Structure 1
Amino acid sequence: MAYEDRARLAALWDAEVELFRAMRPESERAWRDALEHMPDGVPMLWMAKWPGPWPVFVERAAGAHFRCVDGLDHVDLCLGDTGAMVGHAPAASVAAISAQLARGATHMLPTRDAALAAGLLAERFGLPSWQFTLSATDANRHVLRYARQATGRHKVLVIDRCYHGTVDEAYAELDASGRVVSRRGNIGAPVPLDETTVVVPFNDVPALDAALASREVAAVLIEPAMTNIGIVLPDAGWHDAVRAACDRTGTLLVIDETHTLCAGPGGMTARDGLRPDVVVVGKTIGGGIPAGAWGMRPELVERVRASLDWDGEGLEDIDVGGVGGTLAGNAVSMAGIRATLSEVLTPEVYPGMIARAQEWTAGVQAAIDEFHAPWQVTRLGARAEYSFRATPPRDGAEAAAADDFALQQYLHLHALNRGILMTPFHNMALMSPATSSQDVEQHTVAFREAVASLYA
């Protein structure tokens, strides 16, 4: 519990709920209509996690703003939790996607856009060979299968409190005694997680070395900086140590850049000169439509191909091998990726996005300092996040221990009532190419008001 005055927090929450109710009657009507055929009135149950008595229903979105069915304008700092990092409805992406839809959406055959998209990703990340999926979750699943196929090993190593979509092997964490266990709330886990997964803390080199020493691990799957538990940055030298440990033990290194693409055009891989065997990206690259991809070193491509019998049953069974899907690499996704990378999320837009994140961070820090809140704020490129602890966390366990769900919900609802959307899972703000200094200032003013209500 990060905030001690629970009575004060409860009273503030009740006041914001009443304000929410008064402001959003049309969303309430839409929600009550939706309850008839959707549990909790939402298309995915996690959407019920938004603060407030019912979700806000969106009417339209453009750039860094959206309008709800009650006609209220919002600054969107969630941006689909990176799915809309390029902004909503970017013109170039919309034009390319619309044009391809008119020519046919999916054919189970390649289009020229696929090769162009692969070339753009190869240029950014330095890995020459790419495959495409509908999400980063799909890409991570497929990569882990390829890693097992190529190495003959069965286990996967992930970081405690990591996030890699809904990959089964990544829903593992360490308990208080250091055992690998299923993450709290993991729905219908297929097998005990210690059968498939090894878990080590972020930034813990000795634990990583010890875990790989048995040579049972096919792949190390990491985010270059932790994100979904709050931003946790790598220690100096940690990435070099991970690469060295993988080289010593013949383990494949997979870096998931889905959220850390905020760091630059080639994510932290390009910015920091990292050397993975595989890079995974998703969400952002499609301009808002389902898209994911993974890139590989040539040596891994050859190892996988050599492990399959391409003259016999290997080729015959390639469509039922557990990798791919009928809509993977579809023409519309390829058009969206090609247009988004070449015309929207270009290297030229990153300085502005990062500058807005710096302004947002400075505004949050100013309120923390003014009211002596025991919180901290961390920035990674165009993304920033505050947490309820005095110093930046070094691993996922420290970040998780700082959580205060009731406090977080109050701050998010307070922001929402003032026309600002934060992500429902943590205190993250993301800047798009369309986000303005005025948008950031709107958050700065509202955040100071919220912190003052708690500590003044």
Structure 2
Amino acid sequence: MPTDFEADRIDRARLSRLLERERARFVDRHPRSATAYAGAEHLFGRVPMTWMNKNAAGFPVYVDRARGARLTDIDGHDYIDFCLGDTAAMAGHSPAPVVAAVSRRLADLGGASTMLPTEEAATVGAELSRRFGLPAWSFTLTATDANRWAIRMLRAVTGRPRVLVNSYCYHGSVDESLIVLGPDGRPRSREGNVGAPCDVTLTSRVAEFNDLDGLARELAHGDVAAVLMEPALTNIGIVLPEPGYLDGVRALTRQHGTYLINDETHTFSAGPGGATGAWGLSPDVVTIGKAIGGGVPVGAYGLSAELAAALTGRADLDLVDMGGVGGTLAGNPMSIAATRATLQEVLTDDAFAGMIEVATAFAEGIRKIIEGYALPWSVSQLGARVEYRFATPAPRTGTASAACADPDLEDYLHVYLVNRGILLTPFHNMALMCPQTTVDDVARHHEVFTDALGELLG
């Protein structure tokens, strides 16, 4: 909810009128998207995947084509894309090296799904090892799968049943991660959890991000196989680690004989080796997905040498056939080819340097606009990713971050921006840079953002 000071500044009746006006404008500008949505009666929720119904305007923009940092919808409108497929297109849409690698795999070499290895896989594993510091890698199709398989292996090797996550974390649809701390400070299922196989408090423990005392209390039970965490929270809004917090997490997990998994799927924006590389972290497992394939579905998990040896040394664990670790399409030649091209030719060290420079310009410009309107908001940056928050100082926990959401204000800003050719990540005010994003793109966002605030605040 908005703060008292913010409520004084924002006329809620005006906000409601402006939001209604912008939604009406969206409908007028997108007749073909409206028709496509209305006619998709054989799709559950009228979309290929129900997440696509998360939009500010009542129905989604339907894409026609996309390239680099640009997207064009079926109504012919062009957009500067700061959403980038919710990180999946952090390399830009259809980067030329990935297109070439996938085309060669399919057209020249064939064998998109062979259930056999290619030599490229070892090359990709070596590059991931260089970036993240872990020597043994395996592949999945999604980061959700990578997290699920890592959890199973760590339960097996420790003999412990539980996983610990941060309140309001995001690790895909991993059942064990859908736990939060309630207002009374007790763990409970996250609101809206669909079809949980069992009470999540039976499988999981939870602590607030940036709370070492809470983490220590939960680990003291002695039943936690692994702490699964993002080095910075992202999907509830960017929540950055406080000085010493991540070192404290590593010390506590070692003290209690608990493995540490860094989910770098979104925090990959921090640099070529994600937050693990940028901040000198030393997890036992890294999981990642989305961006490493340049838009082609892929995920991966990396293991420490000690953990890999412990697993392969267990004759009782079926890691080859029906043990619950694997998938027919995982590590397929096409996704491996896309990942090699993305890591070696697109999301390079130099590319990250440029993306982070543009993101810094984005963050600095937003701060100036917010300060100019004397709004009690803040800006958080995670490498190539930036978000503006309706709170100051920026929230330090997931629960606090969830509490500062303002759905009507978010919807107004999103639909106002969409109507003027700017796409943000649809579930909060997050902007991601790709190698093709320019300072002119940033300037255009800031121009439209300033106009939106000007109309709202008068």
Residue in 2 that maps onto 1:425: 427
Residue 148 (structure 1) shift: 0.3
Match 2:44 to one of 33, 39, 48: 39
Residue in 1 that maps onto 2:13: 7
Residue in 2 that maps onto 1:248: 255
Residue in 1 that maps onto 2:358: 356
The equivalences for 1:58-73 within 5 A come to 58-73=63-78
Match 1:114 to one of 118, 121, 144: 121
Residue in 2 that maps onto 1:154: 161
Letter in 2 for 1:398: A
The equivalences for 1:18-97 within 5 A come to 18-34=24-40, 36-97=41-102
Residue in 1 that maps onto 2:418: 416
SS at match of 2:173: coil
> What is the alpha-carbon distance in structure 2 between the residues aligned to residue 321 and residue 178 of structure 1?
36
Does the 8 A contact of 1:92 with 1:340 survive in 2?
yes
Does the 8 A contact of 1:368 with 1:451 survive in 2?
no
Residue in 2 that maps onto 1:322: 324
> What is the alpha-carbon distance in structure 1 between the residues aligned to residue 391 and residue 24 of structure 2?
29
* 1:180 matches 2:187: yes
> What is the alpha-carbon distance in structure 1 between the residues aligned to residue 172 and residue 73 of structure 2?
27
> What is the alpha-carbon distance in structure 2 between the residues aligned to residue 39 and residue 255 of structure 1?
33
Query: Normalising by structure 1, what TM-score?
Result: 0.97
Does the 8 A contact of 1:373 with 1:455 survive in 2?
no
* 1:404 matches 2:411: no
Letter in 2 for 1:288: G
Residue 157 (structure 1) shift: 0.5
Residue 17 (structure 1) shift: 1.1
Residue in 2 that maps onto 1:171: 178
> What is the alpha-carbon distance in structure 2 between the residues aligned to residue 20 and residue 214 of structure 1?
53
> What is the alpha-carbon distance in structure 1 between the residues aligned to residue 86 and residue 261 of structure 2?
21
SS at match of 1:307: coil
Residue in 2 that maps onto 1:341: 343
Residue in 2 that maps onto 1:439: 441
Aligned-residue RMSD, C-alpha:
1.1
Residue 12 (structure 1) shift: 0.3
> What is the alpha-carbon distance in structure 1 between the residues aligned to residue 352 and residue 50 of structure 2?
33
Residue 332 (structure 1) shift: 0.5
> What is the alpha-carbon distance in structure 2 between the residues aligned to residue 306 and residue 179 of structure 1?
39
Residue 266 (structure 1) shift: 0.3
> What is the alpha-carbon distance in structure 1 between the residues aligned to residue 263 and residue 96 of structure 2?
28
Does the 8 A contact of 1:232 with 1:392 survive in 2?
yes
Does the 8 A contact of 1:127 with 1:295 survive in 2?
yes
> What is the alpha-carbon distance in structure 2 between the residues aligned to residue 144 and residue 286 of structure 1?
23
SS at match of 1:340: helix
Deviations 1:14-49 (A, max 9, x none): 110121112111111222222x21133211112111
Deviations 1:384-411 (A, max 9, x none): 0011112111111111110011111111
Residue in 2 that maps onto 1:100: 105
Residue in 1 that maps onto 2:310: 303
Does the 8 A contact of 1:289 with 1:333 survive in 2?
yes
Residue in 2 that maps onto 1:199: 206
Deviations 1:69-117 (A, max 9, x none): 0111100000011000000000001110111122110111100111111
Residue in 2 that maps onto 1:211: 218
Does the 8 A contact of 1:367 with 1:451 survive in 2?
no
Letter in 1 for 2:79: H
Residue 146 (structure 1) shift: 0.4
Deviations 1:129-174 (A, max 9, x none): 0000001000000000000011000000000110011100001001
Query: Normalising by structure 2, what TM-score?
Result: 0.96
Does the 8 A contact of 1:180 with 1:197 survive in 2?
no
Residue 178 (structure 1) shift: 1.6
> What is the alpha-carbon distance in structure 2 between the residues aligned to residue 308 and residue 191 of structure 1?
30
> What is the alpha-carbon distance in structure 2 between the residues aligned to residue 112 and residue 302 of structure 1?
23
> What is the alpha-carbon distance in structure 2 between the residues aligned to residue 101 and residue 170 of structure 1?
37
Q: Which moved more, 1:191-200 or 1:25-34?
A: 25-34
Gap regions ≥5 residues in structure 2: none
Letter in 2 for 1:96: A
> What is the alpha-carbon distance in structure 2 between the residues aligned to residue 101 and residue 176 of structure 1?
53
> What is the alpha-carbon distance in structure 2 between the residues aligned to residue 306 and residue 249 of structure 1?
23
Match 2:451 to one of 418, 436, 449: 449
